[in-house]
Amino acid sequence: MRIIKSVAAMQRLARGWQRAGTRVGFVPTMGYLHAGHMSLVQRARRLTGRGGKVAVSIYVNPTQFGPQEDLSRYPRDFARDVRLCREAGVDVIFAPDNAQMYPGAGADKFSTFVSEGELSRSMEGQSRPTHFRGVTTVVAKLFNIVQPDVAVFGSKDYQQAAIVKRMARDLNFPLKIVVAPTVREADGLAMSSRNKYLTGDLRAQALVLWRSLQQARVAVREAARPIPAARLKAELKRLIECAPAARLDYAEFFDPVTLVPVSGVTRGTHLALAVFIGKTRLIDNTQL
């Protein structure tokens, strides 16, 4: 397994793979890897087939963090990430620094961005106004650097995956975007690097996200007619905020393709949650 830290070196390797006709799978990450990330690596390996290559990027992208968010605190353990990637059979880790990814002025004064203007308006886009501009910019840059045939994203970040798919389509990136299922702990909590912050009884309180998804699913499947979204949101807010450290940021019911909010919740509607557990903000989603 190779570890590459320069954009130029990664692009040289990618061009070599292209000349050789090698199929490349790519998993972009911010590191602090867990079993959820490894499931994406396994999916990328299956999609590239025999003789293919799998590349993983490890880069905590500053432009997708707001000024009051946890950029400096975001968990990092590069040595552990390398071990997990090696055990999973990753061929290349691309691990640039900010000077490589935002040359010249640096991330603070970077002036060229990629923005998606439709799917990014609601939910995370509303709660974190500059977040998706940072995501689409860095993902576009990574696609140009690694030049993969297929890139694999997790469905825990459902809106992000939808936006990346739209960006790849609209900007004619010659690759396929695959969205893999959310990987959960045995008790239902979605795996996330930020789960590291859940100390003491916060870990148990975080299960309120999973319970809320389940309650909404049961309610919809038992209902004879569409449930008013406002009523179901109020019920979920009461359930979530029964946990002492929990505060609902948003609960949104929406069409799974257009991401447009719906007023009546039925089978097939998608639900996304963002909840603060103490100072830690967690997201989750499901199709009802």
Give the per-residue pLDDT at 26: 98
Tokens of 85: 């990637």
Domains for the chain: give ranges and CATH numbers.
2-180 (3.40.50.620), 193-287 (3.30.1300.10)
Whole-number pLDDT of residue 210: 98
Active-site residue identified among 34, 37, 131, 270: 37
Q: Please choose, from the candidates 121, 88, 25, 275, the residue with its C-alpha nearest in 3D space to the C-alpha of residue 285.
A: 275
285 forms bridges with which residues in the sheet? 272
Residue from 5, 143, 87 nearest 152 by CA:
143
> How many angstroms separate the CA atoms of 232 and 143, rounded?
39
Q: Mean pLDDT in runs of 10 for the chain (288 residues)?
A: 98 98 98 97 96 97 91 95 98 97 82 94 94 97 98 98 98 98 97 96 98 97 95 97 97 97 97 97 98
- Check if 37 is active-site: yes
If we measure between CA atoms, which residue out of 188, 194, 193, 227 comes closest to residue 209?
A: 188
Per-residue confidence (pLDDT) for residue 278, from 0 to 100: 97
Residues 249 and 281: beta-carbon distance below 8 Å: yes
pLDDT at 107: 73
The reported pLDDT for the residue numbered 117 is 93
pLDDT value of position 12: 98
Q: Contact at 8 Å (CB) between 226 and 266?
A: yes
